Amino acid sequence: MNIFHLGNGSKVLGLIKAKALEPVKVSQLIDGAMKGMVQELQDPYSVYLEPKDYQALETHMSGTYGGLGIYVGIPKETHRLTVMAPIKGTPAARAGIVAGDEIWEIDGKDVSSIDIDTAVSMMKGEEGTTVTLGIKRKNQEELWDVKLVRENIEIPSVEGRVLEGYPGIAYVSISMFNDLTAQELEETMKSLRQEHEIKGLILDLRNNPGGSLMAAVETGNLFVPEGKPVVWLVDKYSTESFVSKGNLIDLPTVVLINKGSASAAEIVAGAIKDVNAGILVGETSFGKGIVQSVFELDDGAALKITTAKYLTPNKNDIHKKGIVPDVEVLLPEDTDPVAIYSGDPEQDMQLKKALEVLQKELDT
């Protein structure tokens, strides 16, 4: 680093303090400088987190938070903040918000140009406080303003059941990967096996935006045979593998993915595909094959930057490419986005095909 650049930074700070007409806090200037440095990386996944934003991120990854109960993403086709899935029984779900709804405003502020982390932090807050979302729904001209009261949200990252009319088939969906996911998956499968004679598994990772790397590795452990890599991690200095400690879910498995399956979800899907532990059905996944690390700073702030990329067990780089399913099932454009949460194969073409593929595996 050129030491003169650091000197100029100190000079700029001193000149602003001494000469600027409008008063400004030094802490605000420092925060602005930090954000500017990170922005120069031109990486949408790297961000300087102020203390409140870092605290919100930690709470989110722990599995509980004060908020509305929706998973959001920014699809590359629209570049709009979009509801990927509402969580059952939460303020958003009760208000009628559905997957596919676009959020154009939060408390009257246009959010078309802000990053996803900032948008999420705007929607979170103390339990009992309110937030108003400006929702743009497909085929509707005007924004729908919906006022919601924040609640303490316990994130059910894993939900499982036996589908009606398909005895012996476990259907398990993972909505995101947090610190509790692998344990929840084990407990869900144990419970289902105690109540039913389970012969096969459909693992639904559609619209799963990802989450914790280690949660993905621990989940992958449940499918990948002992001693085989779940994922390869490549950073600036080395390449290392996370090796499975032994697969506990030894069942014929079909994994559902779509363009909303990203990051940690792709780690699990890629591992299952590469070691032939299951068959992938659906659409090509999002293609986020990079890993962010969070470094806590002295004042409670944090720096989240991209520090590595990951490769599937067969060392495939899926970043900006995605994982191509073994059996492609594209949904028509007019498909109701809620259909994939119905659990009804007659409404959900991808689930229907997954059941057909799994049944064929069970019959052989």
CA-CA distances (angstroms) from residue 87 to 14, 99, 156, 158? 49, 10, 8, 11
Structure tokens at 258: 């779509």
Quick one: which H or E segment has residue 122?
Answer: helix 116-123
DSSP 227: T
Quick one: which H or E segment has residue 8?
Answer: helix 3-19
Question: CA 46, CA 305: separation in Å to the nearest integer?
Answer: 4
CA 215, 218, 223, 228 dihedral sign is positive
65, 53 in Cβ contact below 8 A?
no
DSSP 262: -
263 is catalytic: yes
Question: CA 288, CA 265: separation in Å to the nearest integer?
Answer: 10
70, 49 in Cβ contact below 8 A?
no
- Exactly one of 259, 273, 288, 353 is catalytic; which is it? 288
Q: Any idea which residue has 């030094």 for tokens?
A: 26
Q: Any idea which residue has 């605290």 for tokens?
A: 55
- Exactly one of 274, 304, 348, 353 is catalytic; which is it? 274
274 is catalytic: yes
- Exactly one of 263, 285, 304, 348 is catalytic; which is it? 263
Catalytic residue IDs:
263, 274, 288
